[in-house]
Amino acid sequence: MLIIRSVSLTPHFVRSFIAMPATVQKAFGKQLAFLLRDTTHPSLDVKLYADERGIWQARITKGYRFYFTVERDHATLHEIKPHE
């Protein structure tokens, strides 16, 4: 089971987050709290997105996702963007 106890944000993630609509920013805060409590929470729908690079994907809303890598119990958030 994937356990995350801390997170850090890349500069690219921060720039992308700032450009997101306020509704997505608010929803991300809720989803980040779930990620830190329970990575199996159904609303997150956490998946290994790119196995060869160790990139994970989690849902923010129906139309937005965020992408991260994990080392031990620390997640580095790399990207937030619309879901295609």
Question: What is the reported pLDDT for 84?
Answer: 81
pLDDT per residue over 16-59, tens digit each? 999 999 999 999 999 999 999 999 999 999 999 999 999 999 99
The full set of domains in the chain, from first to last, is: 6-82 (3.30.2310.20)
pLDDT score of 1: 81
Q: CA angle 67-52-32, nearest 5°?
A: 20
Which amino acid is located at 76 in the chain?
T
Provide mean pLDDT across the span 6-24.
98
pLDDT at residue 69 tops 90: yes
Cα dist from 25 to 1, 15, 42, 48, whole Å:
27, 12, 19, 23
Predicted local confidence at residue 17, as pLDDT: 98
- pLDDT for 83 beyond 90: yes
Instruction: State the pTM of this model.
Output: 0.95
Residue with tokens 């809303």: 61
